[in-house]
Every structure is written in structure tokens, then in C-alpha cells.
């Protein structure tokens, strides 16, 4: 009886949280320009209700009355997640939770306007407020042997400390910088697309991509947003993209990336029940799905050659005459400004920079007033290029505006997981490359359903990946994949 009461309460809380998520989706895709002030009040009011439900004093009573020896693995995970959610929520004052929700809604519009104007000073005061609130949240949740940043990162990668993440990325970095240097010295000419890539044609083409990856349109939709994202779960898993008429790959690979997220959400068993165990395992696991769709599959030689004639049919002359050259254009390696447009060699260097900067912001070692110059200095050191505008620099990502501190490193962890999983798929699925070349992705996607998607949060993320691959995670599979792919492309 106590277990049933607990689950009924949690499901209603999750339903309200999903309503809040729909408000966020609407703000980024449909909301009138002048709706920001009201939306901040909406979000604050919703968070007030959610916080009250998450800290309901009946929760520990229900949990203590449950005979956990009678529960199955899914039910035990539901109880464990309920306990963790209650413990975290009760540490945070209600007024702080509401203030964070309200500021996130306000901050997002302020960030978008500052990005459009190319002026970091327009956003800096709001970011200062956000960091102050996130420090308060982290301090309330901090355990004796963890940092403030650890408390925040646990929301996205439960069970992994920032020290472990730092060590993993530190092992990755030398191999990336060595590969980048060899490519830079190769003297290979850059291959680029050219042609008419107007917005209407791009969006028409973009709508053909999700079904290639088994996205269920009856359980989703696609819209435009300033910063592409996936929203929702189960039977309502929405994706967004953006369009640059100078760079159609931004749209194409944003769609494929977000479809990776959505296909995961659409295939978690019983996700529509809204119980805690039927939620994604972690953001690192989530990113592994989107990054694999985008990179190991979507940027592979086989898929590029499959996509090439479809691009020609959609856009006419695109400036390259063969699938081989199209593959090279997709995989150009260069020190670009924008993380979401970065090639696979540079992408993790973008993440490492953000990881270091946001840890310094949360610890207090870096002030917001010095953030833009710190970003520009680090970018020049890592990429050898001067940042030309805040919109291409410190203002390019939405994450800090909505308080997502601790999220960035999960992108690189996702790349590491993706490489591990894809290597296992290559060993397991006969002629995987041939299936990708034919655009028949049912078998690899079903493999992911069986080994990753269906489990939701029943297993801890590290255990989930280890069970799927047969060994503990390391950076080696990613470095092997990158060196083989770009070594062949650039002859290095």
C-alpha cells in the first residue's frame, strides 16, 4: 500500500514536471517575443508546486513502511530514486528553488538578446545572479567529500565525481591534440559545399531525416529554435533544429543529433508511466545515443555516400560531384568557433574548455566579469584562432543561461560511450557498414533498444555501458575510432 501511494504521488509530480517542460519548449519555439516576463512567473509558480510535492513529508514515511525485500529490480530503483529526489529537494529552500526557475526563464531571453546583439555585458549581470543561486543550491546539497561542482554534476551524471571526469578527459586530450596537429600538417585542401540552401528547402529535407533513424512521428514533432534541443519523453518526444543558409550541415546534423536523443526517449520501456525507473540513465548515456547517430553513423563514409544523391535531389548542384567528396566536406577538420558545428577532432576540446571554465565559475576562482576574456584566451590557446564576437564565443551556448552547470562534460562522456558501443556493434552485427551504406538502420537501432534504451534508469550508467560492451569504459575506443577515420581521410 505504501509503495502504491509513493508511486502515485511521484507520477503526478512527474506529470507536472513535464508540463513545466512543455512551457520551456513553448518558450523556445512558439512563445510571443513579449511573453518572457509572464513565462518567468509561470515557471516560478510551477516550481513552487513541484518543490512542495518533492518535499512532501509523507514520502519518507511511505518509503520506511515498504518491505523492499518484496520488490523487483524496477520497483527497488523507483524507491531509490524517490529517496534521492526527496533528500536533494529537502536540502533546498523553497524560495531558492522558485527563484532558480524564475531566473532561468528570464535569463534565457536575456541571453538570446545579448547573443543577437553580440554584447556579453548585456548578459553578465544575469549570469552573475544565476551562478550565485547555483552555488547556493550546490552548497545546500554538497556532501563532506565532494565539491560544489560535484553536487551539480550529479544531476546529469549520477555516481560520477568531477575528479573521475577530469581524469578521463585528461587521458583523452593528448591524443586529440596530436591528431589535430598531424591533420594541420597534412596539407590537404578543404572541401566545401556550395549552392542554394534556402530555409524552406532545408526544412523540407530535414523532415526526411528522422524516419531514416526510426523516429516515430506519431510520438514527436520538429520545430525551429535558437539552440537545437530535444524535449519530452515516451509518446511526446519533440526535436528542434536551426537553419543557416550558408551551412546546411548545421541543420542536417542538428536533426540527426536530436533524433538520437528522441529515439532513446521513445524506446524506454514504460516511459509513459512516468515512474522514476523509466527515465533515461544519465546525460552521458543520452549523449552517447545522439552522438553515435550524428557521428559514427551520420558522418560515416557509408552514410555520406547514401545521403549524397538525396542532397543532390533536394538542392541540385551542391558543389561536390561524388559521395567521396561529400564525405570529405562533412568531415572537414578546422578550428571553428561553434561547438555544435565542430568536427569530431575538435569537439571534445570545446567541451574541455567549458568544463574547466564552469568549474572555475562555481568554485569562485573565476568571476563573471573576467569570463569573456578567459574564454577568448583559452580559445586562442586551444584552437589557435582569435574569437571574433561574443556570439561566436562566450554567448554561443544556452546552457549557463538556464543554470545547466555540470552538463557540458557529459557531451564528451557521451562521445566516449558512443565509441565503445559502436565498436561493440561492429563486432556483433554482421556487415554493419553495409547496412549503413544502404540506409537500413533497423538492426543497429534495435541493438541499442535491446542493450541501452529499454533499461531506462534501472541500471546505473557505468554498469549499463559495461554490460553492453563487456568491459569498463575507457577513452581508447574513441581515440582508435578518430585516428582510423581521420588518418584515412587526411593520410596521417
From the list 137, 157, 258, 302, the catalytic residue is 258
Tell me the C-alpha distance between 191 and 46, whole Å.
50
Phi, psi of 164 (to 5 degrees): -65, -40
Listed in sequence order, the residues at least 6 apart from 421 whose beta carbon sits closer than 8 Å to its beta carbon are 288, 292, 448, 451, 452, 465, 468, 469
With H, G, I as helix, E, B as strand and everything else as coil, classify residue 141: helix
What residue has cell string 578521463? 168
Closest CA to 73 of 470, 430, 454: 454
> Which of 180-189's residues contact partners 24+ apart within 8 Å by CB, and which partners?
180/333, 180/345, 180/346, 180/349, 182/490, 182/492, 183/333, 183/345, 183/486, 183/490, 183/492, 185/492, 186/490, 186/491, 186/492, 188/489, 188/490, 188/491
In DSSP terms, 241 is beta-bridged to 224
Residue 157 annotated to the active site: no
CB-based contact 266:445 (threshold 8 Å): no
Judged by DSSP in three states, 232 sits in strand
Compute how many other C-beta atoms are within 10 angstroms of the C-beta atom of residue 223.
16
Tell me, what DSSP letter sits at residue 319?
Answer: S
**Cell numbers representing residue 304 in the block:** 555520406
Instruction: Give all strands of the β-sheet with 236-241 in edge-to-edge order.
Output: 222-224, 236-241, 230-233
Burial class (CB in 10 A: 0-12, 13-18, 19+), 17: middle
**First vs last Cα of the chain: how many Å apart?**
65
- Positions marked catalytic: 258
Amino acid at each position: 500500500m505504501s509503495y502504491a501511494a509513493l508511486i502515485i504521488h511521484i507520477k503526478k509530480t512527474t506529470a507536472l514536471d513535464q508540463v513545466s517542460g512543455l512551457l520551456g519548449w513553448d518558450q523556445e519555439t512558439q512563445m510571443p517575443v513579449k511573453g518572457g516576463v509572464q513565462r518567468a512567473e509561470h515557471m516560478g509558480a510551477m516550481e513552487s508546486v513541484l518543490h512542495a510535492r518533492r518535499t512532501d513529508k509523507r514520502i519518507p514515511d511511505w518509503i520506511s513502511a515498504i518491505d523492499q525485500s518484496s520488490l523487483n529490480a524496477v520497483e527497488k530503483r523507483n524507491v531509490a530514486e524517490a529517496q534521492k529526489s526527496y533528500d536533494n529537494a529537502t536540502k533546498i529552500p523553497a524560495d531558492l528553488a522558485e527563484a532558480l526557475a524564475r531566473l532561468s526563464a528570464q535569463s534565457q531571453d536575456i541571453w538570446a538578446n545579448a547573443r543577437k546583439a553580440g554584447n556579453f555585458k548585456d548578459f553578465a549581470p544575469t549570469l552573475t545572479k544565476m551562478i550565485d543561486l547555483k552555488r547556493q543550491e550546490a552548497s545546500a546539497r554538497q556532501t563532506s567529500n565532494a565539491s560544489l561542482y560535484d553536487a551539480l554534476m550529479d544531476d546529469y551524471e549520477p555516481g560520477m565525481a568531477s575528479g573521475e571526469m577530469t581524469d578521463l578527459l585528461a587521458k583523452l586530450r593528448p591524443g586529440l591534440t596530436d591528431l589535430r596537429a598531424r591533420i594541420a600538417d597534412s596539407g590537404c585542401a578543404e572541401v566545401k559545399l556550395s549552392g542554394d540552401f534556402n530555409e524552406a528547402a532545408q526544412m523540407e529535407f530535414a523532415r526526411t531525416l528522422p524516419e531514416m533513424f526510426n523516429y516515430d512521428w506519431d510520438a514527436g514533432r520538429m520545430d525551429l529554435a535558437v539552440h537545437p534541443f530535444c524535449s519530452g519523453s515516451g509518446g511526446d518526444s519533440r526535436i528542434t533544429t536551426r537553419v543557416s543558409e550558408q551551412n546546411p550541415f548545421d541543420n542536417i546534423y542538428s536533426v540527426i543529433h536530436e533524433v538520437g536523443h528522441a529515439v532513446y526517449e521513445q524506446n524506454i520501456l514504460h516511459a509513459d508511466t512516468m515512474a522514476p525507473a523509466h527515465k533515461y540513465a544519465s546525460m552521458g548515456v543520452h549523449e552517447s545515443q545522439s552522438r553515435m547517430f550524428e557521428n559514427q553513423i551520420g558522418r560515416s563514409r557509408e552514410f555520406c555516400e547514401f545521403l549524397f544523391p538525396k542532397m543532390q535531389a533536394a538542392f541540385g548542384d551542391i558543389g561536390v560531384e561524388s559521395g567521396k567528396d561529400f564525405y570529405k566536406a562533412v568531415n572537414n577538420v578546422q578550428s571553428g568557433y561553434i561547438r555544435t558545428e565542430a568536427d569530431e577532432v575538435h569537439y571534445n576540446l570545446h567541451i574541455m574548455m567549458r568544463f574547466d571554465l564552469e568549474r572555475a565559475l562555481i568554485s569562485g576562482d573565476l568571476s563573471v566579469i573576467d569570463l569573456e576574456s578567459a574564454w577568448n584566451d583559452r580559445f586562442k590557446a586551444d584552437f589557435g584562432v582569435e574569437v571574433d564576437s561574443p556570439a561566436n564565443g562566450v554567448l554561443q551556448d544556452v546552457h549557463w543561461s538556464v543554470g545547466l552547470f555540470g552538463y557540458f562534460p557529459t557531451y564528451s562522456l557521451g562521445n566516449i560511450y558512443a565509441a565503445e558501443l559502436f565498436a561493440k556493434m561492429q563486432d556483433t552485427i554482421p556487415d554493419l557498414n553495409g547496412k549503413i551504406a544502404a540506409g537500413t538502420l533497423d538492426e543497429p537501432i534495435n541493438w541499442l533498444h535491446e542493450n541501452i534504451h529499454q533499461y531506462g534508469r534501472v541500471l546505473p550508467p557505468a554498469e549499463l555501458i559495461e554490460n553492453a560492451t563487456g568491459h569498463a569504459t575507457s577513452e581508447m575506443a574513441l581515440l582508435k575510432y578518430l585516428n582510423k577515420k581521420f588518418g584515412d581521410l587526411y593520410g596521417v
